[in-house]
């Protein structure tokens, strides 16, 4: 049985003659937590931009659940269940954590229909569960603008999860986090796995080792290698690709 949920086939993105993606083949199974690594400029962010429709392919094909999404608009891709966390958080600074979560929930029509089925308490329960999952249960009444950097990132992730996307894309979610926050984020991702498919672009190899089963390495707009952390670290082509950028551990 074909369990591939997301498939990129021979995707090319040409920015004024420069191939940011150059024949990228990439696929992810449903419920997988896939890490995408690679040296600066490898095309990781561009790959996420293609999946969520922010950038259009020059050539090639993107399929989600066996249907082509190659020519869909960004909002249409969001509606079929692909959520993207950007590097700059977009939480409402002047609303509390609870209010931010309520807004995210109200944008989710399936949650709204659940409201009619179960009544308001179910929604409140889901909201509390979500807050607990992202370590913000003690901060529900705090203004989002007063959260720490790490907490803001977690709130942003919670807002995304509240919309119940099938596939979640994240670009460097642990950037700027402390060791402890990074570790808690790893635990959070392991909880989200299975219920959602996750594709996480990350530079922190410690974090990648903690969460990833299969790691995909990008270089010059295509996949250079795929495998476990150990396989990747021993791969000669991967080492060569990272030469001059401080090695894979400083990826
Ligand atoms: N809008 C654009 N116009 C022109 N070139 C671009 C554009 N966006 C990205 N690029 C180029 O495409 C290449 C891939 O960029 P991308 O941002 O996808 O890399 P990345 O793997 O995410 O790198 P990093 O690890 O630094 O975030 C880079 O050389 C970049 O300069
Ligand atoms: Mg990037």
For the chain, give every domain's residue range.
1-81+165-251, 88-164
Please give the distance, rounded to the nearest whole angstrom, from the Cα atom of residue 16 to the centre of ligand 2: 19
Nearest CA to ligand 1 atom 27: 40
* CA-39 nearest atom, ligand 1: 25
Contact 64, 5 (CB under 8 A): yes
Nearest CA to ligand 1 atom 7: 15
Contact 35, 212 (CB under 8 A): yes
Question: Long-range contacts of range 141-149, CB-CB < 8 Å, 24 or more positions apart?
Answer: 141/96, 141/97, 141/98, 142/96, 142/97, 143/93, 143/94, 143/95, 143/96, 144/91, 144/92, 144/93, 144/94, 144/95, 144/96, 144/97, 144/100, 145/93, 145/94, 147/97, 149/176, 149/177
- Does residue 43 line the site of ligand 1, with CB under 6 A? yes
* CA-218 nearest atom, ligand 1: 21
- Does residue 44 line the site of ligand 1, with CB under 6 A? yes
Alpha helices of the chain — where are they, by DSSP H?
44-51, 74-79, 97-106, 109-118, 120-133, 149-162, 179-192, 205-211, 229-234, 236-242
- Does residue 182 line the site of ligand 1, with CB under 6 A? no
- Does residue 36 line the site of ligand 1, with CB under 6 A? no
| Whole-structure pTM value | 0.91
Nearest CA to ligand 1 atom 5: 15
Contact 11, 46 (CB under 8 A): no
> How are strands ordered across the β-sheet holding 18-29?
18-29, 4-15, 59-64, 67-68
**Residue 246 has what pLDDT?**
65
- Does residue 40 line the site of ligand 1, with CB under 6 A? yes
- State pLDDT tens for residues 115-124: 444 455 556 7
- Does residue 250 line the site of ligand 1, with CB under 6 A? no
The CATH T-level fold of domain 1-81+165-251 is Rossmann fold (3.40.50)
Best of 15, 24, 208, 218 to mutate for ligand 1, by most ligand atoms within 8 A of CB? Answer: 15
- State pLDDT tens for residues 77-129: 999 999 998 656 679 999 999 999 988 877 665 544 444 444 555 567 888 99
Please give the distance, rounded to the nearest whole angstrom, from the Cα atom of residue 46 to the centre of ligand 1: 6
- State pLDDT tens for residues 11-70: 999 999 999 999 999 999 999 999 999 999 999 999 999 999 999 999 999 999 999 999
- State pLDDT tens for residues 125-154: 888 999 999 999 999 999 999 999 999 999
Helix (H, G, I), strand (E, B) or coil at 65: coil
Give how far the C-alpha of residue 87 lies from the chain's centroid of Cα atoms, to the nearest Å: 10
């Amino acid at each position: 049985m074909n369990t591939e949920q997301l498939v990129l086939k021979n995707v090319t993105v040409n920015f004024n003659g420069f191939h940011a993606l150059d024949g990228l083949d990439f696929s992810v199974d449903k419920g997988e937590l896939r890490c995408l690594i690679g040296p600066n400029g490898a095309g990781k962010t561009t790959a996420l931009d293609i999946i969520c429709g922010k950038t259009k392919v020059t050539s090639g094909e993107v399929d989600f659940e066996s249907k082509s999404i190659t020519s869909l608009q960004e909002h249409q891709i969001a509606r079929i269940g692909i959520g993207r966390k950007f590097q700059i958080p977009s939480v409402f600074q002047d609303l509390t954590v609870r209010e931010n979560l309520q807004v995210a929930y109200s944008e989710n029509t399936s949650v709204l229909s659940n409201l009619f089925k179960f009544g308001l308490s179910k929604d409140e329960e889901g909201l509390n569960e979500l807050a607990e999952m992202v370590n913000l249960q003690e901060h529900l009444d705090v203004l989002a603008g007063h959260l720490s950097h790490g907490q803001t990132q977690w709130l942003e992730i919670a807002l995304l999860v509240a919309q119940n996307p099938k596939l979640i894309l994240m670009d460097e979610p642990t950037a700027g986090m402390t060791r402890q926050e990074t570790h808690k984020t790893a635990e959070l991702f392991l909880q989200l796995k299975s219920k959602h498919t996750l594709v996480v672009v990350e530079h922190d190899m410690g974090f990648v080792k903690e969460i990833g089963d299969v790691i995909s390495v990008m270089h010059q707009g295509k996949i250079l290698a795929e495998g476990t952390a150990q396989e990747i670290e021993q791969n000669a082509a991967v080492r060569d690709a990272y030469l001059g950028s401080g090695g894979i551990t400083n990826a």
